Amino acid sequence: MGIGADLAVVMEGVSASVAALSGLVLEDAALCSGADVGAEVDVLQRRYRLCLERLEVVARLEAQLAAVKAQDVADAVEIQHALLPPDAPVEERTFAEMSAVEEIAGILTISSAAAGALVEQSRRVCSLPPVVEALSTGDMSWQHARIVADETEGLTPAGADGLVAHFFDPDAPKPARGAAPGDLVPSRFRAKVRAWRERHHPGSLEKRHAKGVADRRMDYAPDHDGMAWLSLYLPGDTACAIWNRSTATARGLQNPDEPRTLTQLRADAAASLLLGAGLQPTTKHTAAAADTEPAAAAAGSGNDASPGCASTDIGKIPTPRADVLVTVPVFSLLGLTEEPAVLDGFGPVPASMARKLVAGGAESFYRVLVDPRDGAPLEIGRTRYRLPETLKKWLRLRDTTCTFPGCTNHTPDNDTDHLNPWHHGGTTGTHNLAQLCPRHHRLKHHTTWTPDPATKNKPPGWTSPTGRHYKPEQHDPQPTHWPPETLPLAELPTCPDPETEEPDGNLIEPDQLPPTDPVWDDFYAMPFLLPPDPARRWDVVLW
C-alpha cells in the first residue's frame, strides 16, 4: 500500500464537498442578514431546506474523511512493517505493529482495543476496492464499511469478493435488490449482509451455531438510579419465543384500568415468569385501599407470589407458545440440503433447528413453504385459518419490519395500514397494505410523508415532505439451494421427441388457487414425513 493516486482522488472529493458546504453556509448567512432577498422568498422555508442540504453534504464529507482515515491507518501499519529488515523475526514484527496501534490510539484518543479493531477493519476495507470507492464518494458511511469488514472476517478472498459484488456491483449475476447499501440504516444493512453470508456458507453455520449454544449465558450489569440490565445469550428460536411470550402476556394484561405501558408490562411479565410469581393486572384502588398499600398497588412490579405459577422443572425450557414464523426451504425441510431457514424477527437459523421446530409440533410455529425457483413464500399453514390473520402473516413475510425508511421495529408490534386510506377509495389488498409501527403510523397521518404503492413482492417506498424519495428496504430472498445432481425446473432440457406425451392442460400453478379452495385443506392435512435428522441434538455439543 502507499499514499498515491487513489488518496489524491479522495482528497479532490473532500475539497469539492468543503466548497459545497461553504456555499450553503454563505447562502444561509445572506438569508439571515436579509441582503438581496426578494419578497417572494420564504426565508424560513429556504433556511429549513438549507439545513437539510448541509446535513447531506456533511454526511458525504464525513464518509470521505473516513476513507482518508482508513487509508492512513492501514498505510501506517504497513509502513511500520516496511521499516523492518526483511528477515526480522515474527516477535519483532508483532511488537512493531503493537507500537503502531498504540500510537494510533493515542492520536485518536481511543483505547488500544478500539485502535486494534480500527486497524483490522481499515485493512479489510482497503482490500475491497468497491467498498473503498463507495466510501470515498460519500455513497455510504464508515459504519456501513465497517459492517462489510466485520462480515467478511473469516471468509476466503473469493467469498469476500462474492459478498461485496452482490451488494456493490449492479452488473453482478444476482445483485442485491432494493435500496443501495448507503441508503439503509446500518442495522438493516448488517441484517441483509449477514443473511446473505449465512445462506452462502450453510456448512459453517451449523458449527458456529453449536459453538454459540455452548457459549450461552446470562449477564447482569448494574445501572444508574437503582436499576440494572439483565441479558440472555440463547439460541435464536428460544430467545424469540421468550420475547413473544412476554409480549403476548403483557398485551393480555392491558385494560382501561392498567396504568403500566406495554414496555413496562413486558418487563414485569418476564420477571414474573423467571421468578415463578403470578403477574396480575394493576387495578384502581379505593381511597381506603390506597391509604394502606399505595406503593405496592401502583408499582405493579409483578413480585406477588402465586402458588399455581411455580415451576416444577426450572431447567427444562417449555414449548414456545407465542406466534413465530419459521420459513423453511422445501428441500431443507426434507433433509436433502442443509440450507438455513429464517426465523421471523431473528434471521437465518440452522436447518436442524428448523426441522426440530416443525417436527416437534410446536403449535405457535407456522411453517412456511418456499418456492425453490425464486425463494418466494408459497403458502402459510392454515391450521387456525382466518383470512384477516393469514393476510397479516403474509404481510409480515413480505415486509419483515416497519416499512418506513430506517425503521427496524419488528412486525409483531406493527399495524397493518392502508397506504391509500379507505375513506379515499383505498382497497384492502396486498398492493395497498403495508406494515407500520405505531409511531410511524401516526407520523404518516399527521405529516406529508407519502408511501408508494406496494406490490406482491415489494413493500412501498416513501417520499419525504421535502421531496426526497427513499426506495423500499425490501426483504431480499435468495433462490433455494437445490440438492446435488438436481436441476431447477428452469434449467431442465426440453425433449424434442414428438412422441413425448404432452401435458393434458389440467395442471395449474399454486398461486392460481384461491385461498378458500378445499384443496389447500387437503394439502395441509397431509402429515410431514421427515428423514432422520443428522443433527438431532443441535443443543448438545459433541467434542
Q: Which residue segment(s) compose the domain that 419 sits in? A: 387-470
| 32/104 same-domain check | yes
Q: 492 in a domain, yes or no? A: no
pLDDT at 178: 82
Judge if 151 and 192 occupy the same domain: yes
Lowest mean per-residue pLDDT among 112-116, 143-147, 258-262, 295-299: 295-299
437 inside domain: yes
Task: Clarify whether residues 200 and 243 are in a common domain.
Answer: no
Mean pLDDT for the chain overall: 76
Span 11-33, pLDDT tens digits: 888 999 999 999 999 988 888 88
Torsional class of 400: left (φ above 0), alpha (ψ -120 to 50), beta (otherwise): left
What confidence tier does 306 reach under pLDDT thresholds 50, 70, 90? very low
Tell me, what's the pLDDT at 177? 84
Rg, the chain, Cα only: 28
Residues 276 and 183 in one domain: no
Assigned domain for 455 exists: yes
277 assigned to some structural domain: yes
Portion of the chain with pLDDT greater than 70, in percent: 70
Does 35 map to a domain?
yes
- Give the residue from 430, 450, 470 where a domain finishes: 470
State the pLDDT confidence band at 304, using cuts at 50, 70 and 90: very low
Which pLDDT band holds residue 137 (cuts at 50, 70, 90)?
very high
30 lies in the same domain as 137? yes
One domain, residues 73 and 180: yes
- The confidence band for 358, taking pLDDT boundaries of 50, 70 and 90, is low
Whether residues 23 and 119 fall in one domain: yes
**Contact predicate 164/206, CB 8 Å:** no
* Helix runs in 127-261, H state only: 129-136, 142-151, 157-168, 186-199, 202-214, 236-253
- What phi and psi values does residue 343 have, to the nearest 5 degrees? -95, 120
Cell of 6: 487513489
Question: Between the ranges 208-212, 241-245, 328-332, 407-411, where is the mean pLDDT highest?
Answer: 241-245
Residues 251 and 135 in one domain: no
- Please report the pLDDT score of residue 299 as a whole number: 35
252/509: higher pLDDT: 252
Q: Take residue 252 and report the three cell numbers written for it.
A: 393480555
The answer to whether residues 205 and 244 belong to one domain is no
Q: 461-466 — which CB contacts under 8 Å span 24+ positions?
A: 462/403, 462/404, 462/405, 466/49, 466/52
Whether 40 is covered by a domain: the verdict is yes
pLDDT > 90: percent of the chain: 24
136 and 248 together in one domain: no
3-state secondary structure of 348: strand
> What distance in Å separates the CA atoms of residue 497 and residue 334, rounded to the nearest whole number?
33
Same domain, 205 and 240: no
Q: Which of 431, 454, 470 is the last residue of a domain?
A: 470
What tens digit of pLDDT does each residue of 151-160 get?
998 788 888 9
On whether both 393 and 257 belong to a single domain, the answer is no
**CB proximity list for 433: less than 8 A, separation 6 or greater:** 391, 395, 416, 417, 418, 419, 454
Angle at 416 between CA 410 and CA 420, to 5 degrees: 130
Amino acid at 93: R
User: Could you give the number of structural domains in the chain?
Assistant: 3
- The whole-angstrom separation of Cα 336 and Cα 98 is 48
Residue 289 has pLDDT above 60, yes or no: no
Asked if residue 389 has pLDDT above 70, the reply is: no
Q: Lowest mean pLDDT: which of 325-339, 440-454, 483-497?
A: 483-497
Q: Give me the residues paired with residue 342 across strands.
A: 327, 348
Q: In this structure, is residue 132 part of a structural domain?
A: yes
183 in a structural domain = yes
Q: What is the pLDDT of residues 50-100, one digit of tens each?
A: 999 999 999 999 999 999 999 999 999 999 999 999 888 998 888 989 899
